[in-house]
Structure 1
Amino acid sequence: MASPSPRTYASALEHLSLLQSNHAITSLFAPSPSAKPQTKEDLNALAIPEMLDWLARAGLSQADLARSPLRCIHVAGTKGKGSVCAYLTSILTQPAAGAGRVGTYTSPHLLTVRERIQLDGDPISEELFARYFFSTWDAFTSAAVGEASKRRAASAHDAAQLPSDGELAGPATKPFYFRFLTVMALRVFVGEGVRSAVVECGIGGEHDSTNVLPAGCVSAAVVAQLGIDHVGMLGRTLPAIAWHKAGVCKAGRRCFTRRLADDADTMRVLRERAAEKGATLVELGDADVRAWGGVAKRGTLEGAFQVQNQALAVAAAREHLRVLRAEDEGEEEEREREKKAENPLDSVPPFFLDGLAAAHLRGRCEVKRDGKVRWFIDGAHTAESLAEAGRWFAAQGQGLAYRVLLFNQQERDAPALLRQLHESVVPGTRFDAAVFTRNDLERSSGEGERDLAVQRACAEALSEIEPATETLVVDSVPEAVARVREIASRHAADAEVGVLATGSLHLVGTLLQTLEGAA
């Protein structure tokens, strides 16, 4: 049943905003004294069956995906998975790759939701987004109406209790935000003839919505660098988190990861999970990665740590292209290729290196100049990634007249993450001032004070560990930018004020909108 709403991009965004948020779902896993011990496991166990049901309601099945030409590289990990996806997309869209049309599905977005679904490296158009959004919305509505009609026909008593047609056409019969976009992305890829896709997990792997991808639709998997995050859903230790991430392993396929020489327990879990899934775990050793060296570049994916992400992308892209060739050449050729245990970093084709050099990812090690202010922007939001961001800023911060931190983190232990960041920034390049803000794009109207408890806690924490640092608390990103510019006017005579903006991808997205005037 078609929705009476206009089929515009603006209307699609309005409908999308009605869906239950991802935060509302992840909050169900927050520790609670009253929660039953099996709550997390029960919620996780329901995730894939529910997602398969939503997929079917939208007119797709795992068999449909396996029969289609679509082949996906499935990427999991705590940190670096966004960079790996950017590198993979750039490699596969090189003309010499011969990968066909390339799709990319990632999250979250910074400036527009269309960033999450890309075709050949670019966000899908507003027209295409609206078309697939409403076709997906209507498919869910039609499934709900069909079920209601059957129940009305079966029982007059049930008919009186059923929602109206208007309610069935609304958000109550739709999956939550991330699931909806995952289903929609797969419909885009199939409908637009995508041959090669890069698919990033949302949270975890085993129970993530993207893990409805069947083995026949997956060419390779990646478990990028691991860290402690989303402990309510994934556990509090690296081995526990690794168990979830390795859920992307698929039977008969290779999964690429970094060999953790100093963490035998985590590596044991990854190896056991790969064996359990019938996959081959390919471990890239640090010595091999260092010997290869990667591609040094200046741009939005700079940082010495990126060589690990580059190596994983090269290995997975080579495997993906091998699988495509093997499918074209036949099973016997694939068996012969499987016998070779070659190092994926040996003799990397030149177009791979071109792809690595051309890769870009907004909000990651990004530098913007704004008058006397040089913004160092990185959406790091875990302890490990914040430490990397701090080291990156420290290396870049030589010669700055004044150093400022712009920070927010609403979903994790913000003061603890702030301390981790502070420890990574070496003395001599630490912050002269810090601005703590909410992620809001609009300044407060003055009607009721916004909750600034997190920001005040961060300011207090920084004052304890670095008393000389001036701290400010504001309630919106535009106000934070205004205060930073005021600081620059006071302290930057002939040199620049450097600002490290970090702690949250949501903060980074709002900052970029503020600086660039994006709608």
Structure 2
Amino acid sequence: MARTYESALSHLAALQSNRAITSLFSPPAIPASSASTAPKQDLNSLAIPEMLAWLQRAGLSQDDLAAKLRYIHVAGTKGKGSVCAYITALLALGDVKIHRAAGKVGTYTSPHLVSVRERIAIDGSPISQELFARYFFEVWDACTEAARTELAARRAGKPDRENDPAGEAEVISEEELQGPATKPFYFRFLTIVALRAFLGEGVRSAIIECGIGGEYDSTNVLPPSSVTASVVTQLGIDHVGMLGGTLPEIAWHKSGVYKPGRKCYTRKLDGKGSTEAAAIAEKTMQVLRQRAQEKGATLIELQDADVERWGGLTASGKGAGILEGSFQKYNQALAVRAAAEHLRVLASESLNYSSEGEQRTNTAADERSDDASPSFTSALRFARLRGRCETHEDEHAPITWLIDGAHTAESLTEVARWFSSKIVQDNSKAKSVLLFNQQDRDAAKLVSGLLEGIKAKTPGPTDRGQEQLFTHAVFSRNDLSPRALSTDTGEGTEPERDLSVQRAAAEALSTISPATSTSVLDNVADAVAEVRALANRNDGARTTVLVTGSLHLVGALLRTLEPDTED
């Protein structure tokens, strides 16, 4: 078997997908009436024992993970990626003394947009193809050998005639042993690869983003004593089958990253807007507080007033980074606090500190974000995270792409605010185009909410008319390219792609904005070509394109806009 990067990607694609796992969950995992207590035995509860077994098969133990690594664990619905990017910048990309104190900084996030290597970064940069392939096959081969050993042990014992009278479980070919059947599913496998890479490359500080939830997430096998701090970012309704359909239920899962004797940072919910929202917010906070008490953790609730008084670091100006959006100050505040606590714990353990001068870096921020020293927080400007409030200037057409992979109603509200702040209101020749998809949720409802949000946040009327927020809208699947065609018949070699979701979203937009023309396409390459054609017919005026609704859509878009980017 070739041990190349290309071979690693091929093997990775053969693993059971995350979607195949999440589809197993249909009823909410936690009853709404008992959101603050552990759920009954279900598929979720099997996750951590299974993940620990996979770690063992891959040649890792919790002792290995605790020996040299110290972790910041990040959960939440929205803002996890941003918080991880900010913590990485604070520890690895700013002050040299702080970087020396933190040691090599590893960051594990998901999903990726262009290259799978984005998920595993060291000091802010994705690991190389060579390193990815090396650690990928170390894990792959270890799992293969573990399966072979387990099979040999079963064959050496007496067959279980009651459950397997024919002994069929013992008949496994070498090809099956070496294949994906003896490996964990996609996210678990990459989590193990990341941990193995961090150990192999001498990482000291690891920033770990949860995949889904927290309590039963694959990343929650981190040794509790080695987690220096945790973060629960903004909460929202997502992954209902696994996490439940209310904020208190979801809060129960996210607070699984709490660790005994450690601090967890979160934004205090106040439920502004209505009595009902305030009641839900208070119940959610009660769950978070009760879970902290049960787990012996200290919950630090960041007050909006304190964060707003601090103001954060804006993304305006050259070299200020690409993490835009007024909401980022809340993510920045969480990152500052967690990074400072991480340094404080490292100092208390005397890890990687060589002088009294370096030890004082742990006081960069403590209980208030606005106490953080400017020299510490200035590193926030180095944070990078593709596909979140990102502005991209097209090289082939007069287009400004405004890109955000938001995919929930709450996050699309922030996109509406960001987009409204970016568009030029007094340019009657400017075209605004929407490129949208959401394959798994109610796309029609989400696009309607997005438009209503933009209307509410855009001062008007404008020369184009308040009702025509976009001159054109494209609804595309996330597929990167058109269907392959047969060279003999010219017909597609794969079935027609289902476009019912896209058509429903287009109809919803037409109801709100009848003057907006729409198109429905089955791939992103054709969508980009259509938008560029529209822009090039715009008499030299610039076209602004909002791309949102799905990180998968954003990933396909970036690969189309940057075809020469190394995978």
TM-score, length of structure 2 as denominator length: 0.85
Deviation at 1:351, TM superposition (A): 3.5
Partner amino acid for 2:521? V
Does residue 430 of the first structure (1) align with residue 452 of the second (2)?
Answer: no
1:317 aligned counterpart, secondary structure: helix
Aligned partner of 1:199 in structure 2 is 208
Partner amino acid for 1:511? L
**For residues 337-352 of structure 1, what are the structure 2 equivalents within 5 Å?**
342-352=366-376
Deviation digits for residues 429-454 of structure 1 (CA, Å, limit 9, x no counterpart) = 82121100011111123414211111
Aligned partner of 1:54 in structure 2 is 54
**For residues 221-236 of structure 1, what are the structure 2 equivalents within 5 Å?**
221-236=230-245
**For residues 270-419 of structure 1, what are the structure 2 equivalents within 5 Å?**
270-298=288-316, 299-328=321-350, 342-370=366-394, 371-398=397-424, 399=427, 401-419=430-448
**For residues 63-212 of structure 1, what are the structure 2 equivalents within 5 Å?**
63-66=63-66, 68-93=67-92, 94=94, 95-97=96-98, 98-155=101-158, 158=167, 161-212=170-221
Equivalent pair of 1:71/1:196 in contact (CA under 8 Å): yes
Distance 1:497 1:278 in 2: 54
Deviation digits for residues 445-497 of structure 1 (CA, Å, limit 9, x no counterpart) = 3414211111111111111222221110011101000111122123x224211
Aligned partner of 1:250 in structure 2 is 259
Distance 2:73 2:510 in 1: 43
Structure 1 runs not aligned, ≥5 long:
33-37
Deviation digits for residues 345-364 of structure 1 (CA, Å, limit 9, x no counterpart) = 14313342222111111111
Partner amino acid for 1:103? G
Distance 2:169 2:228 in 1: 49
Which residue among 450, 473, 476 is the counterpart of 1:421?
450
Distance 2:59 2:234 in 1: 35
Distance 2:226 2:349 in 1: 12
Aligned partner of 2:21 in structure 1 is 25
Which residue among 9, 16, 29 is the counterpart of 1:13?
9
Aligned partner of 1:45 in structure 2 is 45
Distance 1:385 1:41 in 2: 32
Aligned partner of 2:31 in structure 1 is none
Deviation at 1:41, TM superposition (A): 4.9
Cα distance change on mapping 1:329 and 1:470 into 2, 3 Å: closer
Equivalent pair of 1:78/1:229 in contact (CA under 8 Å): yes
Partner amino acid for 1:60? L
Equivalent pair of 2:310/2:369 in contact (CA under 8 Å): yes
Deviation digits for residues 49-70 of structure 1 (CA, Å, limit 9, x no counterpart) = 111110111111223222x120
Distance 2:391 2:293 in 1: 43
2:228 aligned counterpart, secondary structure: strand
2:84 aligned counterpart, secondary structure: helix
**Which has the higher mean CA deviation after the structures are superposed, 469-478 or 415-424?**
415-424
Partner amino acid for 2:77? T
Distance 1:353 1:395 in 2: 25
Distance 2:27 2:440 in 1: 13
**Which has the higher mean CA deviation after the structures are superposed, 157-166 or 410-419?**
157-166
Partner amino acid for 1:186? L
Aligned partner of 1:219 in structure 2 is 228
Distance 2:448 2:409 in 1: 9
Does residue 503 of the first structure (1) align with residue 553 of the second (2)?
Answer: no
Distance 1:392 1:507 in 2: 19
Deviation at 1:498, TM superposition (A): 0.6
Partner amino acid for 1:387? T
1:232 aligned counterpart, secondary structure: helix
Distance 1:101 1:342 in 2: 23
Partner amino acid for 1:379? G
Which residue among 460, 481, 493 is the counterpart of 2:528?
481
TM-score, length of structure 1 as denominator length: 0.93
Deviation at 1:266, TM superposition (A): 0.6
1:195 aligned counterpart, secondary structure: strand
Distance 1:300 1:499 in 2: 17
Partner amino acid for 1:380? A
Identity, in percent, stands at 62
Aligned partner of 1:35 in structure 2 is none
Which residue among 479, 482, 491 is the counterpart of 1:443?
482
Deviation digits for residues 53-101 of structure 1 (CA, Å, limit 9, x no counterpart) = 10111111223222x1200100001001110000011111022312100
**Which has the higher mean CA deviation after the structures are superposed, 346-355 or 115-124?**
346-355
Deviation at 1:297, TM superposition (A): 1.5
Distance 1:270 1:160 in 2: 45
Aligned partner of 1:269 in structure 2 is 287
Aligned partner of 2:463 in structure 1 is none
Deviation at 1:160, TM superposition (A): 7.5
Equivalent pair of 1:72/1:219 in contact (CA under 8 Å): yes
Partner amino acid for 1:96? K
Aligned partner of 2:487 in structure 1 is none
Which residue among 444, 454, 457 is the counterpart of 2:504?
457
